[in-house]
Structure 1
Amino acid sequence: MTLRPDDSPRRAAYEILLRVADGAYADMVLDAALNRSTLDGRDKRLLTELVYGILRLQGRLDFALAQFCSQPLKRLQPEVLWLLRLGSYQLLELDRVPAHAAVSSTVDLAREVGFEQVTGLVNGVLRALERGRAEIPWPPPAKIKPYLQHVCSMPVWLTKEVMRQLPNAEAQALGESLTVAPPLTLRVNTLKIDRDAFLQALQAAGHQARPCRYAGAGVIVEQRGEQPLPGDEQGWYQVQDEASMLTAELLNARPAQRILDACAAPGGKTTALAALTDNRAEIIALDKYPQRVELIRQGVARLGCPTVTAAECDLTRLPEFLEPQSFDRVLLDAPCSGLGVLRRNPEGRWNKSSANLRDLAALQQLLLNNVATLVRPGGLLLYSLCTFSHCETDEVVEDFLVAHPDFALEDLRTEFPAWQDLFTTTGTMRTYPHRHDGMDAFFAARFRRCN
């Protein structure tokens, strides 16, 4: 099926969801569709809401649909199940869409995309859901495992992972936080404007915003106005989560240092490091894929960071073009499961498993071992991830310290006393959206090379 960007938002959402189910990334497919689309602003917002909302709440929607469908959902054609999810999301989650419109538009869409034979089933299930939604037997929070699965929309493997990490009340809070859209957070590019001036510009343009709680250059846009965000072409800001901003600050980068951002794309932390050093440090930004290196270069040009050099490099092998022990600071924001950003990449709930976590941990250990060779004596190595799984975080740190007695884990609490609630008892950073002002779930550990 070919996505037509001038279709209705429901038709576009349906076709995007089919592509995501086939392995595409939701953000990339959606962004491409929005850029080509002739939909007005209101319909673009509805399209975005439908795609991300359905993927976040797929498990919850399926639990509700199962109460009213006469056959197991797994026996339905995948296209039909996505139609039902599209209709049920509008019925259960969008108060501004009348029930009759949610049902009739889904039935019309089924007919339009070639499923005339199931319009009766779609109509019957959705009308039954509308009549009976107040009687859906949602599991209560006290039954934490089914609550996480059926209310917080977590597959079984992810439910087990969260329950291993947190006590029940916190597991519930984390699960609930991952069902909602993340805040729009911007890092002010202090190379071009200070935060107070940018906040004033936002207010003048009709947006409501406030400073981030932790990050000194961070701004949370609490309500967008009708005008575009000010300063986009001038490079006044970068869309970036607050936890990601903090990761750059933890590296303690200074002017005149030589800094490596080892897995840098799309470049948010790279340009943050340039701003933190006032464009007075040599920064090398690497990524494995040429198209992602180009993203770094585009961001560097937009934000005005001439001291950054971006290059292609596969760090699963020792980088021969970089001299050993030649960097004062090395940041490894490693490829990971992305459990901490499931609000932004909700398909990650459904296309990963616990086996993927172990495979990723092995890759992370390999990358960490290789970049460690580049740190000078006395230099710092920061390992960061947007996840909370134990095997990708604490276990990798423990294995690294055993294999590298010349590195010591630093206690971040001593250097950042104002951020005490972000740190663990071992001095690593671990953030959660339900604890820390809505920021993504991140982990960071800092090592110093002793000799």
Structure 2
Amino acid sequence: MASRPDDSPRRAAYEILLRVDEGAFADLVLDTTLNRSQLDSRDRGLVTELVYGALRLRGRVDFALSQFCDRPLHRLQPGVLRLLRLGAYQLLELDRIPAHAAVNSSVELARELEMDQATGLINGVLRALARGKADIDWPDASNIRRYLQHVCSMPVWLSKELMRLLPNAEARALGEALAQPAPYSLRVNTLKTKRDQLLTALAEAGHRAHPCSYVPEGILIDKRGDGPLPGDAEGWYQVQDEASMLIAHLLDVQPGQRILDCCAAPGGKTTHIAVLTDNRAEIVALDKYPQRVALIDQGAERLGCSSIAAREWDLSEKPDFLAPASFDRVLLDAPCSGLGVLRRNPESRWNKSAVNLRELAVLQRQLLGNVAPLVKSGGRLLYSVCTFSWAETDEQVTTFLADHPEFQLEDLREQAPPEWAELFTEKGTLRSYPHRHAGMDAFFAARFRRLD
């Protein structure tokens, strides 16, 4: 009997990867598939591992496959290559799966998908890989570009970006970090509980966790138990990376302020601002799409954040319904390339290019220009992105200051706790990296003050 995505983890992974190749987002398709499936927790974990791993390490997997396939990979039928990548990922990265199981399940899945003509090829290539994987001549780190491409699974354009930004040793360290699975962290909702109380509840439920390194409300999950995390329905926490948690703190929000969160969905930073102001600030949250505005409202209700008014608006147009100089704080967490969160959105490695960086930089400059007039005299504008490309970070700061002499760049080190000092550059901007800062995502932030 043929397997279905709801009862076979490998079939489910294949179907998700097919959707991703067609342009879907891996996390959304994965969530939808798992919510509809009858798979147990162990098989659901395997689906997640196969999908994210095969996407994250596609460059490494393809390099290995090319050593044992007698034809160029790009000439294979897409479905056949997809099956080879799934099988090869298991052989290279999942020691708990026996080689014969990885090979045989790939061949059987090919038959189920009516690719009988390719079963011989799939069987031969994967068996050869299983026998010869220990002898693969992987590029040495001394050849940094090939190492980034074929060991760290970076496309050519992204390898060049890392090499331009960092010395070779650091480019290697960042590349290696981005090839690893992302950490799983929680922001404690201090409107409803305390970090120590949630840590105790997690331990009692069989989960291993410890406090994050920097933010006082962060928890890092080391290993999940079999059951759900406690406090989800009660709104005790928000899933959020530690780098993202830094942003609301750096905005320097206070009760009584009027605060604008631009491009706010899904609302993690918005609700964090509400928590830090104890629901005693006036927060306006904007997003371009109505379904994403709904996510802000849902998250605010779950967490008990009552000070947020969310509405739809495309900030590539000037928000004429908002009065000039009417906000004490403005957060622009701008649309960006997402290079700093590649571990969470691994398909981004393969569907973006250097051209996208330039296009995004133009949009970011436009958004900054449209929201800057909303800042009060003496107020602050925080620009943040989850990326590290020069065009979207330092270059944006230079351009904004040239375009807007009424603003000055502030040194974030002056407000931040002393133990955060290593997170900042000599200019006082935030630059977090997973290989430097306790595994957190790569974020950038710069804060501008409007002159009196």
Is TM > 0.5 for Structure 1 vs Structure 2?
yes
1:432 is matched with which residue? Answer: 433
What amino acid is the match of 1:40?
A: D
Residue deviations 1:285-334 (CA, integer Å, cap 9, x gap): 10000000000000000000111011000100110111111000000000
Q: Quick one: distance in 2 between partners of 1:5 and 1:230?
A: 29
1:124 is matched with which residue? Answer: 124
Query: Where does 1:7-156 land on structure 2 (aligned, <5 Å)?
Result: 7-156=7-156
1:215 is matched with which residue? Answer: 215
Q: Quick one: distance in 2 between partners of 1:403 and 1:120?
A: 62
Residue deviations 1:37-65 (CA, integer Å, cap 9, x gap): 10111100000000000000000000000
Q: Quick one: distance in 2 between partners of 1:209 and 1:4?
A: 35
Structure 2: which 5+ residue stretches go unaligned? none
Aligned length: 449
Residue deviations 1:92-146 (CA, integer Å, cap 9, x gap): 1001100000000000001110100010000000011111111111011111110
What amino acid is the match of 1:186?
A: L
User: Are 2:405 and 1:405 equivalent residues in the alignment?
Assistant: yes
What amino acid is the match of 1:326?
A: S
Q: Quick one: distance in 1 between partners of 2:58 and 2:339?
A: 16
Structure 1: which 5+ residue stretches go unaligned? none
User: Are 2:374 and 1:374 equivalent residues in the alignment?
Assistant: yes
Give the 3 Å change call, closer, same or farther, for CA 276–424 of structure 1 in structure 2.
same
What amino acid is the match of 2:28?
A: M
User: Are 2:445 and 1:444 equivalent residues in the alignment?
Assistant: yes
Q: Quick one: distance in 2 between partners of 1:13 and 1:286?
A: 35
- Asked whether the 8 Å contact 2:253–2:277 carries over to 1, the reply is yes
- Asked whether the 8 Å contact 2:333–2:383 carries over to 1, the reply is yes
Q: Quick one: distance in 2 between partners of 1:414 and 1:259?
A: 21
2:419 is matched with which residue? Answer: 418
Give the alignment's TM-score, normalised by structure 1. 0.99
The DSSP-based 3-state class of the residue aligned with 1:272 is helix
- Asked whether the 8 Å contact 1:324–1:374 carries over to 2, the reply is yes
1:418 offset after TM fit, Å?
2.3
The DSSP-based 3-state class of the residue aligned with 1:261 is strand
The DSSP-based 3-state class of the residue aligned with 2:310 is strand
- Asked whether the 8 Å contact 2:388–2:443 carries over to 1, the reply is yes
What amino acid is the match of 2:228?
A: P
Q: Quick one: distance in 1 between partners of 2:166 and 2:218?
A: 28
2:174 is matched with which residue? Answer: 174
Q: CA RMSD in A?
A: 0.8
Residue deviations 1:340-370 (CA, integer Å, cap 9, x gap): 0000000000000000000000000000111
- Asked whether the 8 Å contact 2:5–2:11 carries over to 1, the reply is no
The DSSP-based 3-state class of the residue aligned with 2:382 is strand
- Asked whether the 8 Å contact 1:5–1:34 carries over to 2, the reply is no
1:393 is matched with which residue? Answer: 393
Q: Which one is further off, 385-394 or 408-417?
A: 408-417
Q: Quick one: distance in 2 between partners of 1:73 and 1:182?
A: 28
Q: Quick one: distance in 2 between partners of 1:194 and 1:87?
A: 44
- Asked whether the 8 Å contact 1:339–1:386 carries over to 2, the reply is yes
Q: Quick one: distance in 2 between partners of 1:203 and 1:143?
A: 45
- Asked whether the 8 Å contact 1:5–1:36 carries over to 2, the reply is no
Give the alignment's TM-score, normalised by structure 2. 0.98
1:4 offset after TM fit, Å?
4.8
1:7 offset after TM fit, Å?
3.3
Q: Quick one: distance in 1 between partners of 2:240 and 2:373?
A: 29
The DSSP-based 3-state class of the residue aligned with 2:193 is coil
1:227 offset after TM fit, Å?
2.0
Residue deviations 1:9-67 (CA, integer Å, cap 9, x gap): 10110111011011100000000001101011110000000000000000000000000
What amino acid is the match of 1:243?
A: A
Q: Quick one: distance in 2 between partners of 1:194 and 1:104?
A: 49
The DSSP-based 3-state class of the residue aligned with 1:373 is helix
- Asked whether the 8 Å contact 1:5–1:39 carries over to 2, the reply is no
What amino acid is the match of 2:319?
A: P
1:204 offset after TM fit, Å?
1.2
The DSSP-based 3-state class of the residue aligned with 1:447 is strand
User: Are 2:311 and 1:311 equivalent residues in the alignment?
Assistant: yes
Query: Where does 1:238-387 land on structure 2 (aligned, <5 Å)?
Result: 238-387=238-387
- Asked whether the 8 Å contact 2:6–2:33 carries over to 1, the reply is no
What amino acid is the match of 1:341?
A: V
What amino acid is the match of 1:404?
A: H
1:5 offset after TM fit, Å?
3.9
What amino acid is the match of 2:69?
A: C
Query: Where does 1:190-209 land on structure 2 (aligned, <5 Å)?
Result: 190-209=190-209
1:414 offset after TM fit, Å?
1.3
Give the 3 Å change call, closer, same or farther, for CA 406–381 of structure 1 in structure 2.
same
Q: Quick one: distance in 1 between partners of 2:227 and 2:109?
A: 33
Q: Quick one: distance in 2 between partners of 1:260 and 1:209?
A: 33
Aligned-residue sequence identity (percent) comes to: 69
